[in-house]
């Protein structure tokens, strides 16, 4: 039994529609996978943005010595900050004067230690790190309203 020209045309249309449907289905699956990936990336970025100074301060307070008096804690912080600044300087010195490559991982660790003592100072004084950061930015805006401008040589 032979097919009429209309039946042949209809069969071709159906075949084309099936191919298009398969392509659309594959595209939909890929799009769904990409959306899932983007949602996860967005969640991670949001998590990173939300972990700010106050979250860090709270987490850092978990490792502070609560047995110290207020004045002992402040002395510990002053000595700790001084020691850690020395360690930052030592990393920079090795790079600058000894020709060693700058050890960014070591530097990051020492800066992290400085951050811990800064957080401990804020906690000891009963102030939030984010309040200190905001006050500092405001001070800098007043001091340098157009951003930093190097003095012109005389």
Rounded-to-integer distance, Cα 114 and Cα 84, Å: 6
Q: Could you report the per-residue pLDDT of 77-127, keeping only the tens digit for each? A: 999 999 999 999 999 999 999 999 999 999 999 999 999 999 999 999 999
118 by Cβ neighbours in 10 Å (0-12 / 13-18 / 19+) ranks as buried
Rounded-to-integer distance, Cα 128 and Cα 28, Å: 48
How many other β-carbons are positioned within 10 Å of the β-carbon of residue 81? 17
Model confidence band, residue 133 (pLDDT cutoffs 50, 70, 90): very high
> What is the reported pLDDT for 46?
75
Q: What is the mean predicted confidence (pLDDT) over 135-151? A: 90
> What is the reported pLDDT for 61?
96
- Structural contact between residues 113 and 146, judged by C-beta atoms closer than 8 angstroms: no
77 by Cβ neighbours in 10 Å (0-12 / 13-18 / 19+) ranks as buried
Q: Could you report the per-residue pLDDT of 22-64, keeping only the tens digit for each? A: 988 888 888 888 888 888 888 877 776 667 899 999 999 999 9
> What is the reported pLDDT for 132?
94
Question: Global pTM?
Answer: 0.65
């Amino acid at each position: 039994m032979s097919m009429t020209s209309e039946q042949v045309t209809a069969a071709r249309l159906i075949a084309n529609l099936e191919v298009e449907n398969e392509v659309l289905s594959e595209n939909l699956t890929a799009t769904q996978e990409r959306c899932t990936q983007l949602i996860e990336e967005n969640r991670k970025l949001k998590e990173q943005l939300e972990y700010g100074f106050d979250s860090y301060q709270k987490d850092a307070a978990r490792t502070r010595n609560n047995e110290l008096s207020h004045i002992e804690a402040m002395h510990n912080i002053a000595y700790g900050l001084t020691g850690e600044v020395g360690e930052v300087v030592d990393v920079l010195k090795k790079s600058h004067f000894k020709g060693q490559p700058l050890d960014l991982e070591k530097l990051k660790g020492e800066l992290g230690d400085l951050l811990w003592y800064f957080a401990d100072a804020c906690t000891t004084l009963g102030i939030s790190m984010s309040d200190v950061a905001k006050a500092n930015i405001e001070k800098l805006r007043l001091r340098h309203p157009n951003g930093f401008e190097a003095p012109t040589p005389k």
